[in-house]
Chains A and B, each alone.
Chain A
Amino acid sequence: MYLFRLGLSAVLSLHLLAAQAQDLALPELTGPVILTVTGLDPQAFAGGSITLDVGRLQAIGTAEIATSSIWTEGTHRYKGVMLRDLLDFLAIGPFNLRFHALNDYRVEFPSVEATAAAPILAYEMDGTAMTVRDKGPIWVMYPFDDSAEYRTDTTYSRSIWQLDRIDVLR
């Protein structure tokens, strides 16, 4: 039991160390901040939050989806970061997330439901950065065409656009 606890704490501390290291490894902000993640471990992140621009998100990883949606006309290509990758990168455990939009739209999202396939935090549509008028800066996008699983009310409600902040509800 002791050993297990020791092992667990060792893994956790290693994880935190890695996160800090990666945080440090993130490039300097070069463009406008498009996403702020709050509610992070204050010991790992200064003030418990981190700000991210396109350059940083691209450093974490990029993912692309081509799909239609109920809000758009025709199929479009979306580019962004896989939410799962972001959560892993930021070492966010199985907590609920709260997505905030520019117009104060809010929806809660259990982080465990972020998979390796969906959703992505899209910042480009058809190769162009999304402005607020185009539902930018970030649109939580699912590959709706791939599976009926994504075409549910819950998914639609989570496909929040004009996302600018993720609050980790620890």
Chain B
Amino acid sequence: MPQPAQFRLFLMRRARLALVVAALVAILAGISWLGIDVMRQINQESESRSDNAQWALSQIEAELLYLMFAADAAQHGTVSLDTVRLRYDILYSRLETLRVGRVFGGLRETATYIEGIGRLDAFMNRQLPFIDGADDALRAHLPALQSAAHAMIGDARSIALTGVQVIAAASDRRRAEVANSLIVAGALSIFLIAVLAGLLVLLLRLLHFNRLRSAENLATLKHLDAVVATAQDALVTVDAMGRIVDFNQAACQTFGHSRAEAIGADMADLLIVPGQSLFAHGAAPDIEGQGRFRIMARHQDGRIIPAEVSISRMTAGRETLFVTFLRDLTAQLAAEDALVAARDKALAGEKAKADLLVVMSHEIRTPLNGMIGTIELLDSTDLQPQQRDYLRIMAASGRLLMHHVNDVLDVARLDSGKMPFVPGPVDLADLMREVIENQRPASLANGNDLTFTLPEDGRTMVECDGAQLRQVLLNLVGNAVKFTHNGKISLEVAHAGPNGPTEIRVRDSGIGIPPADQERIFDDFVTLDASYARSTSGSGLGLGIVRRIVHQMGSTLALDSQKDRGSLFTISLPLRILANAAPALPDQPKAANNAGTSKLVVLVVEDNEFNQLIMHEMLVRDGHEVTQARDGGEGIALAQARRFDLILMDISMPGIDGLQAAHAIRSGQGASRQTPIMAMTAHALAEEVARYRAAGMVAVLMKPITREALKAAILGAAFETALAEPEATSAILLDRKVLGALISDLGHAKSRKLLHKFRLEAAATVGRLTATLAVAPPDQTMIRDLHQLAGSAGMFGACGLQTLLGQVETAWKTGALAAAGSLLARLQAVWQATETAYQEDAEALAQPSSLR
């Protein structure tokens, strides 16, 4: 069935053809008609112009003369009277003809003719009685007849002359008409010839073009044949019924079928592993909106060939054909697998190194924590001045060592992506005040003036990862303090525009950095000149950490410094600036706020006896009343029994951990169910904060906990993070709000990159965890993996996965290995579902990308 457009074209062509034919017929008809007309006119002319007519006219005069002569001769007896009568009769018949003959019709319109005829008629009528009468009477009348006839000669002559004139005029007119008709006919003929010539030219041109085109087509066809024949990819052309109509050389090689075998066979039956919806017996490939895709094809020997397919539809005449390109992916997939394996191996090695570093640092930090705490306690005992001096050095060394270890840990975390960017509302005023207060003692020690400036518009609320920004500022301000003596250090914040970026400047009047070193100082383990190193101390990681975090935040870091004049570090942060409302902290611990003026009753839940000791001493020295619990269970029991003002909860505890304990206290009916709970942890990943919050905790104290930090926490001035209201997410698989917030904060590119990384790692971790189902009890690595994955899952909104992992962790920690096993059995399925949800989201988010 022709398409409507084609049909219309067809009709138009038909109409045009009909028009041309009609025009030609009309012209021919015109010429024919004119020809006939000319013939008719010529005939008509011959009727009237005929010599016959002229003859007839002139004969009147002749016959009149004959009659006259006959009358004369008869008087002399030369001829008989019958001759006179015959002559009369002949003249009579002639006159009759002139009177009625059609040929003289034109003449009868002239007066001279009519009158002449009339007079001749009258003459004839006068003679008639004598002619028809007796011989004697006629004989007697002859002289009269003769003279009367003589008198008529003039009329007869004028009739003949009139005839000559009129006939000549009519003849001229007819000739003109004929000429006219001939001219028109000629013009029409010329026109017809021109039209025919035009058509001929058109026809010749068409012929020429058709020849050219067919030559081109032939060339194209040959070219195409060559392309198809030499194509690297298998090319299989099928008709609308799925039957193979063409099968190129590459297809023969790929599938092991000869061309002869393939032609006419059903493509789905011959080449495709059954059960792939795109290809079915007796049908053309279902190609609507597929693009390129992978299928499983089948070699003649039964081998399965993974192949990439793209199908294009083409219409050849009335037939619809489907050209199927199949690329054998066997080699490519093998290469991909090898590449993935190599990458996994490399990643595993890298991860092992990073893990070692983290574990080592962590393992160093715990005993160091104990040492520092003990030193502080020792400091509050009676000591000799020299002992106190030693102790001060020990404390300083301990803190420095702790600082170094923390730096290493941070670098490792940043590099391994375990310190992801977790945005939340941050009050820059609070943050800067905290940083300034933190650095003030050291600054004072160096005789510096330390100040800060807030944005002029008073907008201090931004969305940011507060912990990371704090670390950046601490490192930068700390650096400034270290290298400035008796100078000025200022920390300034300003918004460059209504929508940012937010600029934070750390300015000092210190020793400055030589231009040659300005690039280098952001590298790891860089300490400048030994002389400065003497006056300061550091791992050389501080600015490296700053660089990492700033880059992770998508920000820029600029340095402007002159030797001996000072330095200016400028960070430009693309932050979302929030309305300057007070951060919503629903469970702002009032008790803690009051703690500055009153003694609190504090429950410390801590399994580590050193830490128990330290916490106890610190709190008691600040005048608080302390109750100790050695594990989660005991903590829950104590909180049940008594109303405490504050609970400090260690997170990592054997048996019931801090999270569970906090949750139990919050959700129970005990006396302390509304008491603020603060988490204590040495390794609080930022994403875990949400879980702490979910368990009902209001703040996080980072170990090692110093007395100042503890005081500040109790005063409510140093909450680790403003905790977002947790979502009721346990029932849903993927919290798109969380994901959406992440994307809007980081932008598509970065969030997709992070998400991609998370998905890769999650898949790997899930794989590992599932693979070690049977292993019981779980080793440390597994627990940490699981712990981290749960945290990451929370950050990327994978609530279902997070919940399940939490349950597994709980099961492991409570020794319910069978329960953990059954939970782990579901892990793969939950992850798959989550992954599918991510894919759907990615499709909705990203451009629809073709298969790679």
Q: Residues of A with Cβ closer than 8 Å to B?
A: 68-73, 102-103, 131-135, 148, 151-153, 156-157, 161-162
Q: Check A103/B102 contact, CB under 8 A, given A133-B92, A135-B93, A151-B43.
A: no
List, in ascending order, chain A residues with CB within 8 A of B100's CB: 71-73
Q: How far is the CA of A151 from the CA of B59 in the complex (A)?
A: 22
The residue from B47, B51, B86 contacting A151, defined by CB atoms under 8 A apart? B47
Which B residues, 658 to 685, have Cβ-Cβ distances below 8 Å to chain A? none
List, in ascending order, chain B residues with CB within 8 A of A162's CB: 90, 93
In the complex, besides A70-B47, A71-B100, 6 extra interface pairs with C-beta distance below 8 angstroms are A103-B62, A103-B90, A133-B93, A135-B97, A153-B51, A156-B50
Q: Check A68/B96 contact, CB under 8 A, given A103-B59, A148-B43.
A: no
Which B residues, 35 to 66, have Cβ-Cβ distances below 8 Å to chain A? 43, 46-47, 50-53, 56, 59, 62-63, 66
* Most B CB within 10 A of own CB, among A71, A73, A153: A71
List, in ascending order, chain A residues with CB within 8 A of B323's CB: none
Per-position binary interface string of chain B over residues 829-847, scored 1 when its CB falls under 8 Å from any chain A CB and 0 otherwise: 0000000000000000000
Taking CB as reference atom, which chain A residue is nearest B92?
A133
B462 contacts A by Cβ under 8 Å: no
* 30 A-B interface contacts by CB (under 8 A): A70-B52, A70-B101, A70-B102, A71-B56, A71-B102, A71-B103, A72-B97, A72-B100, A72-B101, A72-B102, A73-B100, A73-B101, A73-B102, A102-B86, A103-B59, A103-B66, A103-B90, A132-B90, A133-B93, A134-B93, A134-B96, A135-B96, A135-B97, A148-B43, A152-B46, A153-B51, A156-B50, A156-B52, A157-B52, A162-B93
Taking CB as reference atom, which chain B residue is nearest A131?
B89
List, in ascending order, chain B residues with CB within 8 A of A135's CB: 93, 96-97
* B284 CB → nearest A CB, Å: 72
A133/B101 in contact, CB under 8 A: no
Instruction: Specify the main secondary structure of chain B where it touches its partner.
Output: helix
Q: Check A69/B102 contact, CB under 8 A, given A103-B59, A153-B46, A153-B50.
A: yes
List, in ascending order, chain A residues with CB within 8 A of B43's CB: 148, 151-152
B102/A68 in contact, CB under 8 A: yes
Per-position binary interface string of chain B over residues 79-122, scored 1 when its CB falls under 8 Å from any chain A CB and 0 otherwise: 00000001001101100110011110000000000000000000
Q: How far is the CA of A134 from the CA of B97 in the complex (A)?
A: 9
List, in ascending order, chain B residues with CB within 8 A of A102's CB: 86, 90
B93/A153 in contact, CB under 8 A: no
List, in ascending order, chain B residues with CB within 8 A of A72's CB: 97, 100-102
B51/A71 in contact, CB under 8 A: no
List, in ascending order, chain B residues with CB within 8 A of A153's CB: 46, 50-52
Q: List 4 A-B pairs, minimum CB-CB distance, nearest first.
A: A132-B89, A73-B100, A70-B103, A71-B101
Q: How far is the CA of A162 from the CA of B47 in the complex (A)?
A: 21
Q: How far is the CA of A161 from the CA of B97 in the complex (A)?
A: 11
Q: How far is the CA of A70 from the CA of B102 in the complex (A)?
A: 5
Taking CB as reference atom, which chain A residue is nearest B52?
A156
Q: How far is the CA of A103 from the CA of B93 in the complex (A)?
A: 11
B51/A157 in contact, CB under 8 A: yes
List, in ascending order, chain B residues with CB within 8 A of A134's CB: 93, 96
List, in ascending order, chain B residues with CB within 8 A of A157's CB: 50-52
Taking CB as reference atom, which chain B residue is nearest A132?
B89
A71/B97 in contact, CB under 8 A: yes
* B98 CB → nearest A CB, Å: 9
Taking CB as reference atom, which chain A residue is nearest B99?
A73
* A124 CB → nearest B CB, Å: 16
* B721 CB → nearest A CB, Å: 121
* A165 CB → nearest B CB, Å: 14
Q: How far is the CA of A132 from the CA of B92 in the complex (A)?
A: 8
List, in ascending order, chain B residues with CB within 8 A of A161's CB: 93
Q: How far is the CA of A73 from the CA of B93 in the complex (A)?
A: 14
List, in ascending order, chain B residues with CB within 8 A of A70's CB: 47, 50, 52-53, 101-103
Q: How far is the CA of A102 from the CA of B96 in the complex (A)?
A: 16
* A87 CB → nearest B CB, Å: 24
* A70 CB → nearest B CB, Å: 4
* A86 CB → nearest B CB, Å: 23
Q: How far is the CA of A161 from the CA of B56 in the complex (A)?
A: 12
* B522 CB → nearest A CB, Å: 119
List, in ascending order, chain B residues with CB within 8 A of A73's CB: 100-102
Q: How far is the CA of A159 from the CA of B59 in the complex (A)?
A: 16
List, in ascending order, chain A residues with CB within 8 A of B53's CB: 70
Q: Check A133/B96 contact, CB under 8 A, given A72-B101, A73-B102.
A: yes
Q: How far is the CA of A40 from the CA of B92 in the complex (A)?
A: 33
Q: How far is the CA of A142 from the CA of B743 in the complex (A)?
A: 114
* B346 CB → nearest A CB, Å: 112
Q: How far is the CA of A152 from the CA of B49 in the complex (A)?
A: 11
Q: How far is the CA of A132 from the CA of B43 in the complex (A)?
A: 29
Q: How far is the CA of A69 from the CA of B406 in the complex (A)?
A: 140
* A14 CB → nearest B CB, Å: 42
Taking CB as reference atom, which chain B residue is nearest A74?
B100
* A103 CB → nearest B CB, Å: 5
List, in ascending order, chain A residues with CB within 8 A of B63's CB: 103
Taking CB as reference atom, which chain A residue is nearest B95?
A133
Taking CB as reference atom, which chain A residue is nearest B39?
A148
Q: How far is the CA of A154 from the CA of B97 in the complex (A)?
A: 19
Q: How far is the CA of A76 from the CA of B102 in the complex (A)?
A: 13
Q: How far is the CA of A152 from the CA of B42 in the complex (A)?
A: 10
Per-position binary interface string of chain B over residues 242-263, scored 1 when its CB falls under 8 Å from any chain A CB and 0 otherwise: 0000000000000000000000
Q: How far is the CA of A102 from the CA of B103 in the complex (A)?
A: 22
Taking CB as reference atom, which chain A residue is nearest B56?
A71
* A120 CB → nearest B CB, Å: 19
Q: How far is the CA of A151 from the CA of B52 in the complex (A)?
A: 13
Taking CB as reference atom, which chain B residue is nearest A101?
B90
Q: How far is the CA of A151 from the CA of B50 in the complex (A)?
A: 11
List, in ascending order, chain B residues with CB within 8 A of A71's CB: 56, 97, 100-103
